[in-house]
Amino acid sequence: MTREVVLAIDEGTTNSKAVFVDASGAIVASGSAPVPTLHPRSGWVEQDAADIWTATLAAIAACTARMPDARIVALGISNQRESILIWDRGTGQPLGPVVTWQCRRTSDACDALRRAGHEPDVLARTGLPLDPMFPPTKAAWLLENHGGGAADICIGTVDSWLIWNLSGGRVHATDRSNAARTQLFDLARGCWDADLCALFGVDIARLPQVRDSAHVFGETRGAGGLPDGIPIASAIGDSHAALFGHGATRGGDGKITFGTGSSVMTTIPEFVPPPGGITTTIAWSLDGRSTYALEGNILVSASIFPWTAAMLGLPGVDALLDLAQSVEDAGGVHLVPAHVGLGSPHWDAAARGTIGGLSFGSGPAHVARAAADSLAHQVADVCEAMSESGEGGGRLFVDGGPSANRFLMHLVADALGRPVTPCRDTGTSALGAAHLAGLATGFWPDLDALATLAGHGDPCEPTRDPDENRAARHAWREAVARTTLHLS
């Protein structure tokens, strides 16, 4: 029996996923494929645009194979953010690599712009600091190093690349949530900013059209095994998609998405310049209206676990977390995962990871516990910075792979001193993209209908004594301070 579904593509940093979501809001089939990442120099992180497209098609094929009788009525996209690429509009071929959000190759360019006094104006217009995580200096690097041979170039984030390929090269577009992360988009006016484009050396004519997050961008044409004519009906950054997938539409609602890095986001009623160390962004846009949010971006989050497991000679992340739980605490050991710098609220591109507080009583279990603790402490750093602005205080949801681990989520609740509520399905970004695509095509009639679809598990409540938590947070801040003390 044929079942109508929405196909959601969730293109992440390490893999592409595809899911089918039925009218009840349930994920009824899924598939995934890995996306290789390259590190050609220290601090440089890049991917191949062709690999991203190939992995996306493979994920769709795997999902379809699990439910071949499904009829896809709409397609939505959730994507890794701040990664940028350029391609030839005539041939559709990528020019150079995808320079990912983790890449630090343009640190010097950001420093030069900061020294020239441009950061206050950039922050006021875009809500984002001058940091190599954000795309404009990377776009300029791509144009300078790989754009010389093409007469007509498209500049885009990963959602734009997927929309281009899904539509057979007919549509070059993005949504407001992704545009808001390019540092070329004026959040208050809701448009590309000609002055910012001139500052960064990016031709505004090469940027994509900007649409609502729930919008029919076009239809599929010649996209691998997909039938032609499927509406491409949503695009949204993965962290924003997770917030929407939680049904976090009340003012002050927030979520933490755990992944390679992590994103902490809470909705706010209108655009405001961000408090120190935090960014302001567009969470999503519907019917021409943007919902704004404060966000803190953590550069290295769950990705510290496989690294630490390998360093300790353990077979994998499960073994690492089992070892972490074998001790009551980290015994004074702190692991600050600044392997590609520190993100929010510190924004120190030159910082590098440290393991400190070692004694002769320290063992592998304490290092493992310190890695687990780092996930919680970094989130608490961001939430504390947000609380200084007076925003937040609503429900706080968690998603991403680590959110299924109750041990880790109790560490997070303890560090925050407040409960966190996981989604029953860790693929909340895909659900958010599906919900938006279904909303754009009438598969679900309105936000009230979507609100009935969100499913959450039992909250993780804090159990640590408040005085003990204050001492733990103080010790963590001292460890971070040592990490940011750069010695020549």
> CB neighbours (10 Å) of residue 389?
16
Check whether residue 222 and residue 318 sit in a common domain.
Answer: no
Q: E-assigned strands of 212-253?
A: 214-219, 231-237
How far the first Cα of the chain sits from its last, in Å, is 68
Cis peptide leading into residue 345 (ω within 30°): yes
Check whether residue 9 and residue 122 sit in a common domain.
Answer: yes
Is residue 445 situated within a structural domain? no
pLDDT band for 478, please (50, 70, 90 cuts).
very high
Is residue 347 situated within a structural domain? yes
> pLDDT per residue over 86-125, tens digit each?
999 999 999 999 999 989 999 999 999 999 999 999 999 9
Check whether residue 320 and residue 468 sit in a common domain.
Answer: yes
- pTM, two decimals, is 0.85
> CB neighbours (10 Å) of residue 190?
17
CA dihedral over 409, 410, 414, 418, signed as positive or negative: positive
Q: If we measure between CA atoms, which residue out of 113, 23, 24, 10 comes closest to residue 59?
A: 10
* Domain-ending residue, one of 246, 268, 292: 246
Check whether residue 215 and residue 324 sit in a common domain.
Answer: no
Residue 398: give its domain's CATH number. Answer: 3.30.420.40
- pLDDT of residue 477 exceeding 60, the answer is yes
- pLDDT of residue 488 exceeding 50, the answer is no
CB-based contact 220:198 (threshold 8 Å) = no
Is residue 275 situated within a structural domain? no
Q: How many alpha carbons lie under 13 Å from residue 252 in its C-beta half-sphere?
A: 8
- pLDDT of residue 270 exceeding 90, the answer is no
pLDDT band for 389, please (50, 70, 90 cuts).
low
* Domain-ending residue, one of 246, 263, 286: 246
Residue 349 has a pLDDT of 80
Distances (CA, A) of 201 to 194, 195, 206: 10, 10, 12
Percent of the chain clearing pLDDT 90 (strictly above): 73
Check whether residue 319 and residue 228 sit in a common domain.
Answer: no
Check whether residue 39 and residue 156 sit in a common domain.
Answer: yes
Is residue 274 situated within a structural domain? no
Beta bridge partners of 264: 256, 296
Q: Average pLDDT over the chain, rounded to whole?
A: 92
- The DSSP result for 417-428, as a single string, is TS-BEEBSSS-H
* Cα–Cα distance, 191 to 13 (Å, whole number): 27
Q: What value does the mean pLDDT take over residues 22-45? A: 92
Distance from the Cα of residue 349 to its chain's centroid: 18
Check whether residue 11 and residue 128 sit in a common domain.
Answer: yes
- pLDDT of residue 362 exceeding 60, the answer is yes
- pLDDT of residue 139 exceeding 60, the answer is yes
Cα angle at 435 between 430 and 439, to 5 degrees? Answer: 150
- Per the model's pLDDT, the better-predicted residue between 242 and 11 turns out to be 11
* Cα–Cα distance, 128 to 278 (Å, whole number): 8
* Cα–Cα distance, 203 to 207 (Å, whole number): 7
CB-based contact 239:429 (threshold 8 Å) = yes
Residue 392 has a pLDDT of 55
Check whether residue 230 and residue 334 sit in a common domain.
Answer: no
Is residue 20 situated within a structural domain? yes
- pLDDT of residue 242 exceeding 90, the answer is no
Beta bridge partners of 84: 99, 157
**SS3 string of 285-335?**
EECCEEEEEEEEEECCCCCHHHHHHHHCCCCCHHHHHHHHCCCCCCCCCEE
Is residue 286 situated within a structural domain? no
The token pair at 311 is 């360093």
- pLDDT of residue 1 exceeding 70, the answer is no
- pLDDT of residue 82 exceeding 90, the answer is yes
Is residue 278 situated within a structural domain? no
Check whether residue 465 and residue 382 sit in a common domain.
Answer: yes
Domain hosting 466: range is 304-422+458-483
> pLDDT per residue over 171-212, tens digit each?
999 999 999 999 999 998 999 999 999 999 999 999 999 999
Cα angle at 91 between 86 and 92, to 5 degrees? Answer: 45
> pLDDT per residue over 410-460, tens digit each?
999 999 999 998 877 767 889 999 999 999 999 999 888 888 876 777 888
Domain count, the chain: 2
Check whether residue 333 and residue 225 sit in a common domain.
Answer: no
- pLDDT of residue 55 exceeding 60, the answer is yes
Residue 122 has a pLDDT of 95
The residue assigned the tokens 């041990």 is 407
Identity of the amino acid at 270: E
The token pair at 188 is 């208050």
The token pair at 292 is 């704004």
Residue 246 has a pLDDT of 85
Check whether residue 321 and residue 223 sit in a common domain.
Answer: no
Q: If we measure between CA atoms, which residue out of 160, 199, 189, 136 comes closest to residue 53?
A: 160
Residue 391 has a pLDDT of 58
* Domain-ending residue, one of 246, 272, 291: 246
- pLDDT of residue 150 exceeding 80, the answer is no
> pLDDT per residue over 123-136, tens digit each?
999 999 898 989 99
Is residue 67 situated within a structural domain? yes
Check whether residue 357 and residue 224 sit in a common domain.
Answer: no
* Cα–Cα distance, 407 to 326 (Å, whole number): 12
